[in-house]
Amino acid sequence: MSDCLFCKIIAGEIPGNVVFENDKVFAFRDINPQAPVHVLIVPKKHMANVLECDGETAAALTDAIREIAAKEGVAESGFRVISNCGHDGAQSVNHLHVHLLGGRALPERMG
What tens digit of pLDDT does each residue of 50-102 get? 999 999 999 999 999 999 999 999 999 999 999 999 999 999 999 999 999 99
CA–CA distance from 7 to each of 74, 76, 84, 85 (Å)?
27, 31, 17, 18
pLDDT of residue 109: 81
pTM (2 decimals)?
A: 0.94
**Single-letter code of the amino acid located at 40:** L
Largest CA distance in the chain: 39
Supply the residues annotated as catalytic.
Answer: 97
Strand residue runs (E) in 2-102: 18-21, 25-29, 37-43, 79-82, 98-102
pLDDT at 1 over 90: no
Is 110 a residue whose pLDDT tops 90? no
pLDDT of residue 2: 73
Say how far apart CA 27 and CA 99 lie, in whole Å.
Answer: 10
